Amino acid sequence: MPATPNPFKAALAGGRPQIGLWLASAEPAVAEIVAHAGFDWLVLDGEHAPNDLRSLRDQMMVVDPSPSHAVVRLPIGEAWMVKQVLDAGAQTVLVPMVDSAQEARAMARAMRYPPEGIRGMGASGGRVSGFGAIADYVQTANQQVCLIVQAESRRALENLDEILATDGVDGVFIGPADLSADMGFPGNPTAPEVQEAIARALRRIAASDKAAGILARDLDEARRFLDLGATFVAVGIDTLIFARALRQLAGDARALL
């Protein structure tokens, strides 16, 4: 039996737009609710959310049986972290702060078994192989893993063409927040200079054989990013949605008094 097909990877390769949501709560119960809400993909955030390997695994356990696809974001691009989340069940990995083709190649190799890569051969005892039930996992996994790298600095945009030419990279995700800070506009991704840089980057990615992704602040922005060629767009963050809804409810309830 081969590795489980990766529907998100297939959708990106086919140019089919995918709508996603960011999960920063680090809670499996929240992930289970969101996983059945109708999103194509969900980011389990290991960079800025209070996640560890076990909490990422527990969220994958409730997302995997759902119609949504789990995308695991690492804290940083380290080969040992890639290996751990893959063995825990991840198929798609999002790596932040990738500034060069050399860094992208290193992550592509970390995602794959030899001879294409350097991934350690220890999946038979892990969740990703069904604890040994998927007999042909190591022979077929390279075809189903999906690597998304984040371009979120001026250096990354300068090296974008080389990153896009890197074998084993399936998509490039633009990070507006860190990019705006690196460009001298911290906390202001709406600055015209930043928005123009994002638009140019999305067009360049869309013109390549890779998929373009980004996180939008609202649906109008999401529409604009899709029109610029983005294939996978996240439209919100679970903790912000929850907090805003609670503040609105509290305010509306107090208005009754």
- Provide mean pLDDT across the span 180-197: 96
Which pLDDT score, from 0 to 100, does residue 220 have?
Answer: 97
Q: What is the CATH number of the domain that holds 125?
A: 3.20.20.60
- Structural domains counted in the chain: 1
Q: Is 146 helix (H, G, I), strand (E, B) or coil?
A: strand
What is the tens place of the pLDDT at every residue in 86-124? 999 999 999 999 999 999 999 999 999 999 999 999 888
pLDDT at residue 198 is higher than 90: yes
Active site residues: 48
* Whether pLDDT at 184 is above 90: yes
Q: Is the pLDDT reported for residue 67 higher than 90?
A: yes
Class of residue 79 by CB neighbours under 10 A (exposed 0-12, middle 13-18, buried 19+) = middle
Q: Please give the pLDDT value at position 122.
A: 87
In a domain, 98, yes or no: yes
Q: Is residue 25 part of a domain?
A: yes
In a domain, 102, yes or no: yes
Confirm whether 145 is domain-assigned. Answer: yes
Say whether pLDDT at 227 is over 90. yes
Q: Which amino acid is at 77?
A: G
Is 167 within a domain? yes
**Whole domain around residue 20: which residue ranges?**
7-254
**pLDDT for 138:** 94
Q: What is the pLDDT of residues 14-50, one digit of tens each?
A: 999 999 999 999 999 999 999 999 999 999 999 999 9
- Taking the model in full, what pTM does it have? 0.96
Q: Quickly state the pLDDT bin for 3 (edges 50, 70, 90).
A: very high
What's the pLDDT at 207? 97
Residue 135, token pair as written in the block: 């007999």
| Tokens read off for 211 | 């998929």
Cα–Cα distance measured from residue 81 to residue 74, given in angstroms and rounded to the nearest whole number: 7
> Mean pLDDT in the chain?
97
- Strand 41-45 to strand 146-151: parallel, antiparallel, or no bridges (unpaired)? unpaired
Q: How much is the pLDDT for 124?
A: 87
Q: Is residue 161 one of the residues assigned to a domain?
A: yes
Is residue 1 situated within a structural domain?
no
Domain contains 2 = no
The set of residues, in sequence order, having a beta carbon less than 8 Å from that of 157 and lying 6+ positions away, is 151, 179, 197, 200, 201
DSSP state of 191: S
Q: String of b and e for 43-53 (b: at least 16 CB within 10 Å)?
A: bbbbbebebee
Question: 1 pLDDT band (50/70/90 cuts)?
Answer: confident
pLDDT score of 146 more than 90: yes
